[in-house]
Amino acid sequence: MDWMFMLIALLKVLVVLVVFVLMLGAVLTWVERRMSALIQDRLGPNRAQIGNVRAWGLLHPIADMFKAFTKEDFVPAGANRMLFFLAPAIALASTLACFAVIPFGPGEHFTIAPLDSGMLFIIAIGSFGIYGVALGGWASNNNFGLLGALRGTAQLVSYEVTMGLNLVGVFAVFGTMSLSQLVLGQGELLWGWLPKWGVVVQPVGFVLFLIASMAENKRAPFDLPEGESEIIGYFAEFSAMRFATFFLTEFVEIVLIAAIAATVFFGGWQIPWLDPQGVAGGFITVAQIGFFVFKIIALCWLQMLIRWTLPRFRYDQLMNLGWKVLLPLSLANIVVTAIVLALI
C-alpha cells in the first residue's frame, strides 16, 4: 500500500539522516577538537559541564547548539534576504540528499532510494552545493564574502571534474554505476585470498578521489574559500543557526565522502573472508551494517588527520594541483584501466 511505502521511506530517512548522519556530524565536531588537541599537545575541549561532570568535552557540541539557537540572527543591510536564508539550506540539503542512494546493508530495504545509476545521482545532486556557497557570498552584500564565494566556486568546479573521473575506472572494472551492484562485485576474492575491493583494483583512483573530494569539502589544506585564520570566507556575514548550518554541512560532507569511499573502494557492507552461509541471517546483517559504519568512521578519522597535519595551499598551488597534476593523472588512470581491461 502507498501509505505503508511512504511510512517505510520516512522511517529510513529518519534513521539514516537524523539518527546516523546528523548525529555523527555533530560528534565529529568533538572528535576533531580532541584530535587537534592531541596533535598540538594541549587539553582540548574541557570547559562545558553539567554540575561537576565534564565528560571529556562531550558536552561541547550540545553547548554549541544552544549557542547557535540563542545568538542574534543578523541580516546585513542590502542583503538579498530570500537567498541569504536559502543558501545554508541549499548547501546542507544537497549533501543530505546524496545519502539516499548509499546502501548501508544487503538488499534494497537498507537503501532509502535504490537507483541503477546511484553514483550519477550523487555527482549531480552534490553539485548543487556550489550554489549554496555562491549564493551565500553574493546575497550577503559583502565584498569579502563574494570573493570567498568566487574562490569556492572555482575550487569546486575544478576538483569536481577530477573526482568524477576517478570513479570511471571503478565503473569500468565492475561494469555498473549502481552502488548496490558495486558492493556485490567487491564481495569476490582475487586469487582466493585478496578482496576485490575498489582500492585494490584502482589504488591510484582512490588516492586521487580522496584528494579531490577533500578539496570539494573546502577544508584544510584546501580551505581557501574559508581561510579562517587570515582571509575572510563566503559566510562572513552569517551568524546564529545559518552559520551553524554551514558549519554542520562541512562535517556532514566528511561523512558523505567517507560513505562514498567505503562503498566504492572498500567493499561497502561486505566483510571479506566471511561466509554468510555459515552465520545466522540476522547476525550477519547486523555485522555487515556495523562493519560498513566502522569503515565510514575510519575514513572520517583519516580525513581529519590529514586536515590537522598538512598546511594550507596557496591559491595558485591549489589550481595547479587540480588542473595540471590531478586531472592528467585521472585521465591517464582511465586510459591504463581501459588498456588492461581490453587485454584481459
Give the pLDDT score at 253. 93
CB atoms within 10 A of CB 196: 18
pLDDT the model gives residue 247:
87
Structure letter (DSSP) for residue 243: H
pLDDT at residue 6, rounded to an integer: 67
* Residue 106 contacts residue 285 (beta carbons within 8 Å): yes
Length of the chain as a residue count: 344
Query: Which pLDDT value is given to residue 5?
Result: 63
At residue 94, the 3 state secondary structure works out as: helix
Termini Cα distance of the chain: 48
State the pLDDT at residue 277. Answer: 63
Q: Can you name the residues that pair with 122 across neighbouring β-strands?
A: none
pLDDT computed for residue 45 by the predictor: 83
Interatomic CA distance for residues 95 and 118, integer angstroms? 14
- Cβ-count burial of 50 within 10 angstroms (0-12 exposed, 13-18 middle, 19+ buried)? exposed
Query: What span, in angstroms and rounded, lies between the C-alpha atoms of 235 and 248?
Result: 13
Amino acid symbol at 73? D
What the block records as the C-alpha cell of 27 is 560528534
- Using 70 as the pLDDT threshold, list the residues of the chain that sit under it: 1-6, 8-9, 228-231, 275-282
Backbone angles phi, psi at 50, to 5 degrees: -120, 110
What region does 55 belong to: left with phi over 0, alpha with psi -120 to 50, or beta?
Answer: left
Cα angle 229, 230, 235 (rounded to 5 degrees) comes to 75
Q: Which helix (H) or strand (E) holds 189?
A: strand 189-190
Q: Report the sign of the C-alpha dihedral through residues 294, 17, 122, 120, in that order.
A: positive
Yes or no: say if 132 and 93 are a contact pair by the CB < 8 Å rule.
no
